[in-house]
Amino acid sequence: MEAEQTEIPEVLLIKPAVYGDERGYFKETFHQQRYSELGIERNFVQDNVSFSSRGVLRGLHYQWPNPQGKLLYVLQGEIFDVAVDIRADSPTFGRWVGRFLSSENHHQLWIPEGFAHGFLVTSDTALITYKCTDLYHPADEGCVQWDDPAIGIDWPLDRIEGAPSLSGKDQQGKSLADSALKI
Catalytic residues: 61, 130
- Residues 59, 130: contact at Cβ < 8 Å? no
Q: How far apart are CA 15 and CA 27, in angstroms?
A: 10
- How many whole angstroms separate alpha carbon 29 and alpha carbon 134? 19
Residues contacting 13, CB < 8 A, separation 6+: 3, 4, 6, 99, 107, 108, 109
The contacts of residue 98 (CB under 8 Å, 6+ apart) are: 80, 81, 82, 83, 153, 154, 155
